[in-house]
Amino acid sequence: MSERTARIARTTKETDIELSIDLDGTGTTDIETGIGFFDHMLTAFGRHGLFDLSVRAEGDLEVDGHHTVEDVGIVAGQAFASALGDKRGIRRFGSIALPMDEALILAAVDISGRGQLFWEADVPAVMVGAFDATLAKEFFIAFAANAGVTLHIRELAGENTHHVIEGMFKAVARAMRQAVEADPRMGDALPTTKGAL
């Protein structure tokens, strides 16, 4: 399997983002978005996925964090899609039920080429530090759509909003890690009967 890395830059009137990823890294991260809790979540995502991840994002935080969080999701999804290339030899599917103290989060992913999020979670409209908790869903919508993955996230249990959201980022990272791994039995084949993903 060849080197699976990508570097994506995206500039709009609302945000300026540079992101790089190595799918076969060691979980080394360098994150700076201007939103401390979001930095914490992206750091956890890289570490638990064993993705080397660098993110530099400048956004219109004087408005709020929405554009920054959503646009980082867009760029992260694009980077995953680019780094995966033709998707030959990957496992394609990944899932985990991940405990984060009282929270229990299910994440399941299919690198299907059909970008969509299915979300069953009750995340209240509260601030976690400078992060609007409702933006977690916006991030994952943007990520799934641009990565071309079918992503299910379910909150099976949880009370503390910090724990619930952190559990989501860790669970999705672990599921993605499984899905992008090389399957030695697959060889160089595509993991589909359709001939394309």
Q: Rounded to two decimals, what is the model's pTM?
A: 0.96
pLDDT of residue 197: 79
Read off the pLDDT of residues 128-183 as tens digits, 9 standing for 90 and up: 999 999 999 999 999 999 999 999 999 999 999 999 999 999 999 999 999 999 99
Q: Is the pLDDT of residue 1 over 70?
A: no
d(CA 192, CA 181): 15
d(CA 35, CA 58): 10
Least Cα distance to 8 among 136, 143, 109, 162 occurs for 143
Least Cα distance to 155 among 191, 120, 197, 114 occurs for 120
Q: Are 109 and 151 in contact (CB under 8 A)?
A: yes
* For the chain, percent of residues with pLDDT exceeding 90: 92
Half-sphere exposure at residue 182, Cβ-oriented, CA atoms within 13 angstroms: 9
Read off the pLDDT of residues 84-114 as tens digits, 9 standing for 90 and up: 999 999 999 999 999 999 999 999 999 999 9
pLDDT of residue 21: 98
DSSP E strands: which ranges in 111-190? 116-120, 127-128, 131-132, 150-157
Q: Which residue has the tokens 């910090």?
A: 162
- Name the pLDDT band for 196 (thresholds 50, 70, 90): confident
pLDDT of residue 195: 74
Q: Are 48 and 178 in contact (CB under 8 A)?
A: no
pLDDT of residue 194: 78
